Structure 1
Amino acid sequence: MDASSKRWREVSPSRFAHERAGLDHVRDHLPDTAPFHAWSNLQFLALDGSVNEVDLLLIGPAGLFMVELKMWGGRVTGNGQAWRIENERRNRPNPLLLTNSKVQRLKSLLIKEAARVLGDRGRGLIPYFQAATFLHNPNVVSALDDVGRQWVYGLEGVRGNRLPLIVTDLLAKPAGDPSKALDASRSNQLANLVDGLGFLPSTANLTVGSVQIEDPEPHAEGARWQEYLGHNISSTSLRRRVRIFRPSRGASAEERKTVSRAAEREIHLMQGSRTRASPSRWTCTSTIPARH
């Protein structure tokens, strides 16, 4: 698939060269034909009000796929819950856990949108939807156990990494049940529905007040809030946690007031915190020192 293809939507360019290379690798190995459609570097607002970052969303013959890209190199060990990257001291959570939660949120949003736009004709439109992890460092070697290696893929043309191929073995793989395969008509209808959600560009460079967010993925989540790790713009050594409160999608005025009051209560409880209101991006945030 060529970079200029209408089937590949770059919602926003990645600021990371390695991530751009990983996405280019996938695109270069995809056929520029039906049923393929793809969206890269996007975010969506879920029904619960959470903002979710997505590296790659793709429609293929077997269904919908949400792919998280990781440039981790060396030997990767672990299980279904935690992974250890070579030369790192701490475990990392299996990326599939977070990606799968995003899949569930986006699927709920798509089902609701299909009912709104298509009515009864939207029933059954949303196909099989799977989360996956793409380890795109050419030097990575998987030593994950049988549970941890599920839905983990590597580069096309690279052997010896103990990983199946991201396009051949997943994204372009035919549906196991031919009767459930996506044809051109259904994939185009699904793509139009996805486009209608109005994806937003990734906010990898998000700044909240004087704090630069370091990772667009939430450090923690709760009802109507997400917490991020960051640092003070004037001093990278001054670490902060930023908790952003958001109402649900299509929230009533009363719910918005409830969320705002919850943020205000936390601000009063936490020493050294402060609030910021901005209806266009968030209802209220509190910024507190990060734990080391």
Structure 2
Amino acid sequence: MIQNDRWTTVTPWFFSDEPTAMESIRQSLSEDGPHRAWANFSFLADSGHLHSVDLLVAGPGGVHLLEVDVSQGRLRNEDGIWLRTRSGNTKASDSTRDVAEVKARHLTAALRRAAAGRFLAVPEVRGSAYLSDPRSSVDLTGPAARGVFGPDEPANPSLPRLARDLLEQPAGDRAERPGRRFLRALPGLLERIGMHPVEHWPRVGTWQLTPKPVALTDRWQDFVAWSTVWDKAPCRVRVYAPGASRTRTDEAVLREYLLLRELDHPGIVTVDTLEHHPPGPVLMFHVEKKQLLRLDHILSLYRSLFTPEVRADMIRQIGAGLAHAHDRQIAHCALSTRAVMGIPRPAQGESVNDGWRDPGLQITDWHHAAVAAAATEDAPAPASVTRDLRGLVAVAREICAGAAPADGFAGLPEHLAAEQEFARIRPAEQVRRLTHRLAEDALSPAAGPAVPVTR
């Protein structure tokens, strides 16, 4: 077991199962080994993101950032989404390993900045996921299984062991192999990048945020927040990374806020307020219900419930929102299932879960659109219109995955563009006609039921 002088817990753990998970890692590392570990700390990335780190372990075999997942139940993956089932209830999330890799990439950049001018080679920090519950059934396949580890004792037969197969293994890549000078300098480098305790319940004004973001990219972090003053429904909070220039980021987010205030449509997300926050500018989005899922998560969980009529209606909702934007000479430029949010719409007397049979959808992620709109006062460039048409087709294909017409969607924008009349009409009308074609194909008798989702 690694000794306390080489294991530093920067912040006391908030939840009771987290110290147990950490202790299992500490027990698995050899007492006389050269490893150093830092648990539960935050650092400020060069992008301006404030990241929390569950565990950082450094040794001759490499520098490893571990995102610890204490969840229980059966875990499997579908199209990059993690699906965890417990007591008959399935939830979708982004891959814990993917989150660890984003943080590891940012930590590498911060350490290299701190080491600049010291003639010190800083290796790549490797991000991995640690699933601490040995009783969980894990069935990850393909790329989703890479970089995911379980405890050494008692071992989970479906996972490689963390210490034996990762932490105590020699680094295979020279870029990941730390030198002795770097290992001696690492504690000082962590201090230089501002390693500090984790704030368990961060706040934006009078809103209290979830301890960890529910979504993370290089540009922003999404949280769910609750008001500490009013009895209000939860709010979706997006904290933007300041990047190289806080002023330019503030201006870009202000443009996005003003754009969303103008795009008042049921198929487009509603923004409540713009807040200024030390970690970065914040947009706060209105949420009608506590349940709010990205479309890619909705499809992974509930696609088997959709009738052809529902699939057609989902395409129409997204197409209507997109056409509304093009009516105002705005192109989204980044439409995908990750850029659409959904809420359940239960009928009278139905449960909330029944409401996912017919979800309400709204397009979000209008950052690229705001930047493009500010760059020119003209209508969107033809390339931007084409990108939106192809994005709409890609989303429709995902909605109709397993149905016969989905494969025929691929060349539809090009097929329509070849028609003289289609090429002459306004972009908004192009979106509407494409939406009509996609919805009609989704209703085709050949579509049949969606492929059932294995539970």
Name the amino acid aligned to 2:225. G
Equivalent residue, structure 2, for 1:109: 110
Name the amino acid aligned to 1:286. L
Contact 2:67 2:99 in 1 (8 A): no
Equivalent residue, structure 2, for 1:72: 71
Q: Does residue 60 of structure 2 align to residue 61 of structure 1?
A: yes
Aligned-pair CA distance for 1:192:
3.0
Name the amino acid aligned to 1:247. P
Show CA shifts across 1:202-243 (max 9, x none).
Answer: 2331121222112422535474x4332122235676110122
When residues 186 and 4 of structure 1 are mapped into structure 2, their CA distance, relative to the original with a 3 A threshold, is same
Show CA shifts across 1:184-209 (max 9, x none).
Answer: 54421234323322212223311212
Contact 1:41 1:201 in 2 (8 A): yes
TM-score (norm 2): 0.55
Contact 1:36 1:187 in 2 (8 A): no
Query: Using the alignment, how far apart are the partners of 1:80 and 1:60 within structure 2?
Result: 34
Query: Using the alignment, how far apart are the partners of 2:55 and 2:79 within structure 1?
Result: 22
When residues 174 and 79 of structure 1 are mapped into structure 2, their CA distance, relative to the original with a 3 A threshold, is farther
Q: Does residue 262 of structure 2 align to residue 262 of structure 1?
A: no
Match of 1:44, SS? strand
Of Structure 1 and Structure 2, which has the larger fraction of its residues in helix? 2
When residues 80 and 111 of structure 1 are mapped into structure 2, their CA distance, relative to the original with a 3 A threshold, is farther
Equivalent residue, structure 1, for 2:354: none
Q: Does residue 96 of structure 2 align to residue 95 of structure 1?
A: yes
Contact 2:208 2:226 in 1 (8 A): yes
Contact 2:46 2:110 in 1 (8 A): yes
Match of 1:147, SS? helix
Query: Using the alignment, how far apart are the partners of 2:85 and 2:214 within structure 1?
Result: 24
Query: Using the alignment, how far apart are the partners of 1:136 and 1:32 within structure 2?
Result: 21
Q: Percent identity?
A: 24
Query: Using the alignment, how far apart are the partners of 1:106 and 1:95 within structure 2?
Result: 17
Contact 1:215 1:229 in 2 (8 A): no
Name the amino acid aligned to 1:238. A
Aligned pair partner of 1:242 in 237, 243, 248: 237
Bigger CA radius of gyration: 2
Equivalent residue, structure 2, for 1:15: 14
Show CA shifts across 1:23-63 (max 9, x none).
Answer: 12112222345531111112222122222221111112211
Name the amino acid aligned to 1:114. A
Match of 1:49, SS? coil
Q: Does residue 37 of structure 2 align to residue 38 of structure 1?
A: yes
TM-score (norm 1): 0.82
The farther-off stretch of 228-237 and 72-81 is 228-237
Aligned-pair CA distance for 1:157:
1.6
Contact 1:213 1:229 in 2 (8 A): yes
- Kindly tell me the number of residue pairs found equivalent between the two proteins: 278
Contact 1:155 1:165 in 2 (8 A): yes
Equivalent residue, structure 2, for 1:170: 166
Name the amino acid aligned to 2:113. K
Name the amino acid aligned to 1:4. N
Show CA shifts across 1:136-158 (max 9, x none).
Answer: 01311211114322111111222
Match of 1:195, SS? helix
Contact 1:53 1:217 in 2 (8 A): no
Equivalent residue, structure 2, for 1:126: 122
Aligned pair partner of 2:222 in 227, 236, 240: 227
Contact 2:215 2:222 in 1 (8 A): yes
RCO (CA 8 Å, sep 6+): is it higher in 1 or 2?
1
Structure 2: runs of 5+ lacking an equivalent? 262-269, 293-342, 344-455
Equivalent residue, structure 2, for 1:199: 195
Match of 2:194, SS? coil
Name the amino acid aligned to 1:22. A
Contact 2:62 2:178 in 1 (8 A): yes
Contact 1:79 1:146 in 2 (8 A): no
Structure 1: runs of 5+ lacking an equivalent? none
Query: Using the alignment, how far apart are the partners of 1:152 and 1:72 within structure 2?
Result: 14
Aligned-pair CA distance for 1:260:
2.9
Tell me how large the CA RMSD over aligned residues is.
Answer: 2.9
Aligned pair partner of 2:284 in 264, 275, 287: 287
Query: Using the alignment, how far apart are the partners of 1:179 and 1:93 within structure 2?
Result: 27
Query: Using the alignment, how far apart are the partners of 1:265 and 1:144 within structure 2?
Result: 41
Contact 1:243 1:287 in 2 (8 A): yes
Contact 1:29 1:167 in 2 (8 A): yes
